[in-house]
A and B are shown apart, each in its own frame.
Chain A
Amino acid sequence: MLGTALIAQAAGTPAGKKRADLRKRIWQHRWLYLFILPCVIWLLVFCYYPMYGATLAFKNYSYKLGILNSPWAGLKHFRTFIYSPDFWRVIKNTLVISGLKLLFSFPAPILLALLLNEVQAVRFKRVVQTFSYLPNFVSWVVVVSLMNVIFSPYGGVINDLRKNAGLDSIFFMGSREYFYPMVILSDIWKNAGWGTIIYLSALTSVSPELYEAAAIDGAGRLKSTFYVTLPCIKGTIGIMFINAVGGLLNAGFDQILLLQQPDNQLISDILDTFVLKTGLSQGRFEYATAIGLFKSVLSLGLMTLANEVCKRTMEVSIF
């Protein structure tokens, strides 16, 4: 009774009225809210619940005592990482690879979406779209295995062509100078098609009247793209950019791990592969967690920065 009275009292204030409205609306659409439930549960179970494990970064882990009862170690593992001789090399490699991906891989789906948007033959467009999505479903293990076969110095198609042209064969997959091109090209091949989905859906929201008006003003296709299409989807681009910057330190663990070769080791060792090599493989879970936490905090900072920049320049932000 008291509770009901309090709710009634709270509903009398503007904030309380708003809350009561919200509750009413939720109840009204309860069947639709039910669809969100699995996602919420998934998020709680798999994303929030395991977060307590981050405390491992500050502990000396014992199998028997588990995460919560292991003794505290302070910032020891962070210090070990920061003072390790590999610290700057690994950070630099991660930023370089992520930066290159941001520079080349991020715009690729936008470009592909714009090109697809200009295709008039509907059936052809759909076929191209479908084929461009397929690589996304191929795992990196398969992609890199295919690349190994294609670029192998021993019987690979590319090197056979080179040999037929009188050129020496090149160990593309294992040479330092080809590492970055291989990373970027394979990344674009695998992800660009799938990435167009969100931009293509944004493009459908652009009013045809704007194109008609632009055409009346004498704008060709290229100018329409620059002055109509891009400004109309800049919000989507901005949001995607913020997310991409947030994931800047995720340079692509499985891709990079599989592309690592002795010769490119110096430039291919990124934070995630370093965690695997020096942490998880050797059972130093607390050290691996410390590096992971370090990465997450840095990523949050980068994302906040990107959010501010986008808010000021593109008038979009995620918070």
Chain B
Amino acid sequence: MKKLKWTGRALALSLAATLMLAGCSSGGSATTSAAGDSNAATTADGSNAAATTGDSTTTGTQTFDDVTLKMLICWNGGFKTASDQYNNEVAAAIREKTGVTIEFEGIMMSETEKLNLVFASGDMPDIINAPYWGGDGGETAVIKKAAREGQLLDIKDELPKYENLANAYDVGIVSQAFLENDLDDPTFNGARYILPQETPGDVADISNWAYGVFVRGDVAETLGVDPTTIKTSEQLLDFMTKARDYGFTDVNGNDIITATTFHEGWDYGQYAMNFNSKQATSFVMQDDGTYTYSTLTDNWIDSNLFIWKLVNEGILDKECFKQTDDLANQKVGNGTALFAAAQYSTVINATKLTGLYNSNPEMRYVPVGPLSYADGESAVQVELKGRNGSPAIIFPTSCSNLDASLTYINYVNSEEGARLCQYGIEGETYELNEDGQPRLIQSYLERKANGDSTVDDELREKGIGYILGRTLQADKRKTWWGESNAGDADAAVEELEAYKEARPVEQLAGYPLDKLAQSFEDYDTLKTYAFDDTTKNDYTQRAFFADTEEEARSILEDYQTYLTTQENGLFQEYLDYANEVAKTRDDVIN
């Protein structure tokens, strides 16, 4: 082979270098990003900003020198923010008060998976907000593991310094059971790692999620059915069957789907609400006064067989268990699905997205029922006294400035800070009414009342409307301002507010049995399979598609067998233990 000339050598060298750089570029940028994340307390000019201008001992009121922090919003579905999180009106105003800016980042993957990834890779942000529902499953298990293994900062001695966060652990804001078993998990050895978030400041501040079954308004009218009279499963099935057979079309004249849900079957359980009872845990009391697990009862099988029937009779959308929210929005937004089960606001928003809400008001979805519990009592949203599980704000050891983080959160939890985050600048985006309560200016309210969803986008660009969602510790907005969200009082969706009254929040007093039973000796072994929703969903959803009712029943019974036979029947020991500890207190609820 001829020797390569110098031009050839140069070409070879540059090609090789280019290939190497290309091969390493993604890894390189990831590394840079990781480093950037873990040392995210950088100023606008790129320098570190750990120094403060205030007295470091009076942390609750100190002001920092332009500290920027990263906060991971670990909730599947993303987190919409202003496109420029640093240069917007609200961020600038908060910075003026605290010297701190927080930049939020959402995720589009499973929360548990993301948390695992964050802690295992060490690529941690300054602050994380993630679900912390209590117990030992999913996200809670990961957060507890991270806390035990020294991946989180202890905030026990810090919280009392911040007046708006100091009462975060008060019973009433959080439940006694949540406090004892999860916030102060015995394995934390007295440390406190969790700042519970989205806890209600008062009963009026508890979010009513308005879950239920909803039907296209014209369907009920055409069939001559008053949907509010539907209370039982039989009545619901009869209503749905009539709707299926009538020959309705969607807004575009296409074939309909009788009933659907939103992403991955959320929330098909609403169709079977009539099989449930008012309870706060998965335990049910039997006729002899002892407790058993709801999954082991015949009622659980019957409830799932009802869903099987809906699928088998072509009523419930066969795609709904694996569909995305986008697809569900199309189905609901075009009126293709006659019935939808989820939160009412989600259903209404789907019709607003497509314009159906305004173009075809007769097709607006209206509530069915609310359905009753098995005992005939009207369904409600059950809550405990104080939250029994909540979103949690946690601070990984990578947090570059804990004081700055808490100062920021403390400020947005003050009335002044919260008003800034929710309404913006006085005179520009809101004004005070005669009661001294902030209200969006009239032009925004009118647009909101007309279903103009671009208002929210416009306000978001100013930094309004998203910060509180994941930073408000105790939600006092309703108490402060008479509305939880900007525009609620003046531009509220009437049907939504009416439905919230029809299916109100009800607080149950007492100590939940599932929390009490967490002290079971082999709980760690039990939790690896007994409270694993993935396996349970595999069985139940497989049953929904069985050819016959017998086959469906057999699959459901198989799951019951699986639960009771794993680990040499450990679950029965757990049930026995739960019944024993239930006798130790007189305020136990199921």
Contact = CB atoms under 8 A, between A and B. Distances in A.
Interface of A: 28-29, 31-32, 34-35, 37-38, 41-42, 45, 61-65, 85, 148, 152-155, 171, 173-174, 260-263, 265-266, 277-278, 280-283, 285
* List of 8 A-B pairs having minimum Cβ-Cβ separation, nearest first: A262-B541, A263-B545, A283-B116, A38-B19, A64-B149, A63-B119, A31-B12, A38-B20
Contacts, number: 99
A85 B558 CA distance: 12
Given A35-B15, A262-B321, A283-B112, 20 more contacts: A28-B1, A31-B8, A34-B12, A35-B16, A38-B23, A63-B149, A63-B151, A85-B562, A148-B319, A153-B318, A154-B331, A174-B545, A260-B322, A265-B541, A278-B534, A281-B113, A282-B116, A282-B532, A283-B141, A285-B120
A65 B122 CA distance: 11
A41 B23 contact: yes
A42 B16 CA distance: 12
Nearest to B146: A63
Nearest to A155: B254
Nearest to A148: B319
Interface string B91-115: 0000000000000000000101101
A280 B117 CA distance: 9
A214 B69 CA distance: 76
Nearest to A38: B19
B255 interface: yes
Given A261-B322, A262-B545, A265-B541, A283 B145 contact: yes
Given A63-B145, A283-B112, A285-B120, A171 B318 contact: yes
Could you tell me the dominant secondary structure of chain B's interface residues? helix
Contact of A64 (B15, B151, B254, B318): B151
Contacts of A171: 318-319
Nearest to A262: B541
Interface in B299-339: 317-319, 321-322, 331, 336
A90 B226 CA distance: 49
B255 A155 contact: yes
A280 B116 contact: yes
B538 interface: yes
B542 interface: yes
Contacts of A34: 12-13, 16
Interface in B12-46: 12-13, 15-16, 19-20, 23-24, 27
Given A63-B120, A64-B150, A281-B112, A154 B317 contact: yes
B585 interface: no
B59 to A, nearest CB: 27
Contacts of A174: 318-319, 322, 545
B1 A29 contact: yes
A32 to B, nearest CB: 7
Contacts of A278: 534
